[in-house]
Structure formats: structure tokens, C-alpha cells
Amino acid sequence: MNVLGIDVGKGEFVCELLGSDQRASKKFNNTARGFEQLAAWLRNRGTRKVHACLESTGGWSEDIAAYLHDRGHIVSIVNPMQIKAFGQSELSRTKTDKADAALIARFCLAMKPDPWAAPTPQEQRLRQLVRRRLALVETRAQEYNRLGAPGTENVEDSIVASIAFLDSAIESLEKKIKETIDGDDDLRGKRNLIESIGGIGPATSSTVLAETPHIESFPTAKALAAFAGVCPQERRSGTSVSSSHVTRIGNRSIRRVLYMAALAAMRCNPIIQAFAKRLKDRGKRSMQIIVAVMHKLVILIFGVLKTGRPFDPLWA
């Protein structure tokens, strides 16, 4: 089967088609018309089905992925760090859109990444709402940081008004997020299971569901933790001092809400409190404990969803 590497940008995307008897590349606009032109380009080359591969870049990659998936092509969306590591293994130095598309195509041909499962319309809606909420929360935090800062005394009223507007917009989004989850039996059931874990609230549960719509497809809790980017990473070389830290490879949105959930769980969840105390007694630093708790929460989330049973602190 031919592979199609796609380097996606906001306004356009570049494709590299690789097969046993052909190689071609072309640039298209990242629009519905551009998608149709891509389909025609593939047909003109006698290519009925491809394994398309592209990096995860939010909505810019998901639109073209959904278009190809709906038309019977195999689609894989991979972490950009995987492509970067593959390029480093090839000692690749050229950095252009065309070179990146060719690199992604070679990665797909060599590594055969898992197919992407397209989200349902409700899951797509939830993801858009959750990501928008996160963007506004970050903007609100920036506005709060400006309050009282030097040189802002003449614009303080504007900052306060901006914060009030953002508060209202965030509240509206949270209402829509709840309505979206409540209106879907599968999402509602998963939400209730996740929130049965002490310390996890609506922000965390909705983000986990939005960013991992097919969470049941993860084979192990470790795989889910790796996707979220909360797997401890150890570096050791000979007799040199080793260090352990959380890897930055993973879903930033999930990592962000898990951090806040970990702080809450350490206050109100007896199981997590005992776990954190054991780590502290072993001499672990505060940040190491928080990361370990984040990892523990992922394991608990995976457990309740896998078993279909709410969290039971007595069983744990």
C-alpha cells in the first residue's frame, strides 16, 4: 500500500506520496476545496487507498484526517516528537515543508503507526469546547497577572472588565461542556466513573474525555500515562548521578489538569494522601511527589474505565 506523508500548516499542507513504483509531492490549500484537489490528485495517480500519516497539530490536522478517514483511507496521527526522533535517526538536516512531508512518509513506511480512530460528532464538539475553555482560562490568568503590575495603573479598569468578560465566557463554555456530556450516554457514564475518584472534578474529567475520545483503546494504564506525558523518565549513565523527571512528550492539556487534580487529591483523597506520605517519608521532593500522584491518578482513571466500576477507596 502507498503511504502519504502530510505536513500540515494553517493555510496549506504538503503531501509526499511514496509507493513501490512512484513518488510524487504536491502542495494544497488547507480548505475543503484543497481536500477535494488532493483526492483528485490521488485518483490521477491510480491510488485508491493510502496509509496517510500526519503530525498532531490540533484542528489543522484533524480536518484533513477526518476527510481521508471518511473516504476509506487509513489515517495515523502521531506525536511530532516521534517524527523528530525518526528524522534524527536519519541524520536529517533539511527543514522545509516538502522535506518534512517526505520525512513523515518515510516514518509511516518504516514504522507503520496505528490507525487513527475518528471521534464522533459529540466528541468533536466536546474537544472544541474544552480546548476553547482552556485557551480562555490561560488568557484570564495572564490578565490577573497584569493587575497591580507596574505601568498598568491607567488601564486597570480595562483589565478588570476583561477578566469579568472572560469569567462569563468560561462559565458559558462550562455549561455547554456539561450539556454535551450529559446528552451522550457513553460520555456521561465515563464522566461519572472518572469523577468518582476523589480530587478529580469536571475540568479534569472533561479534558480527559475530550483529548482521549477512544480511551478504551489503550492496552494498558502505562500506555495511557505515556500519552498523557506523566511517565517518570530516568537518565543514568555508568556511575554518573541519575535523575528522574516527568517526560514532556505527551498531551499538554491533560498534563495541566492532572497537575491541579493531583493537588486536590492530596488534600481530599485518603488513598492519595497515604501514597504521597509514603513518598515523602522516602525523601522524595515535592515536585516528584506531585508527578507520582499525577501518574497514580491516570492509573486510577484507567482502572475505573476498564472495569466499569466507580472508584472504591476500600478496595484500593
- Does residue 177 have a pLDDT over 50? yes
Residue 205, number of CB atoms within 10 A of its CB: 24
Query: What are the residue boundaries of the structural domains of the chain, listed by start?
Result: 2-111, 120-183, 185-316
Radius of gyration of the chain (CA): 22
Q: How far is CA 7 from the centre of its chain?
A: 18
Name the phi and psi angles at 20, rounded to 5.
Answer: -65, -25
CB 52 within 8 A of CB 68: yes
Return the pLDDT at 90.
Answer: 85
Q: How does the average pLDDT of the chain come out, rounded?
A: 89
CB 40 within 8 A of CB 27: no
pLDDT tens digits, 251-292:
888 999 999 999 999 999 999 999 999 999 999 999 999 999
Return the pLDDT at 118.
Answer: 85
Closest C-alpha to 191, from 213, 166, 163 = 213
Residue 199 makes CB contacts below 8 A (sequence gap 6+) with 261, 262, 264, 265, 266, 267, 268, 269, 272, 297
pLDDT tens digits, 199-255:
999 999 999 999 987 887 788 888 888 888 887 655 555 544 444 455 556 788 899
What does the pLDDT average to over 128-154?
A: 93
Residue 312 makes CB contacts below 8 A (sequence gap 6+) with none
Residue written as grid cell 487507498: 49
- Residues 131, 211: Cα–Cα separation, whole Å: 9
pLDDT tens digits, 67-109:
999 999 999 998 888 888 898 888 877 788 899 999 999 999 9
What does the pLDDT average to over 13-19?
A: 93
pLDDT tens digits, 21-63:
779 999 999 999 999 999 999 999 988 899 999 998 767 788 8
CB 271 within 8 A of CB 313: yes
User: Which bin fits 46, alpha (ψ -120 to 50), beta or left (φ > 0)?
Assistant: left
CB 219 within 8 A of CB 205: no
Q: How far is CA 90 from the centre of its chain?
A: 26
What does the pLDDT average to over 7-24?
A: 89
Closest C-alpha to 177, from 257, 255, 243 = 257
CB 50 within 8 A of CB 21: no
2-111: CATH topology:
Nucleotidyltransferase; domain 5 (3.30.420)
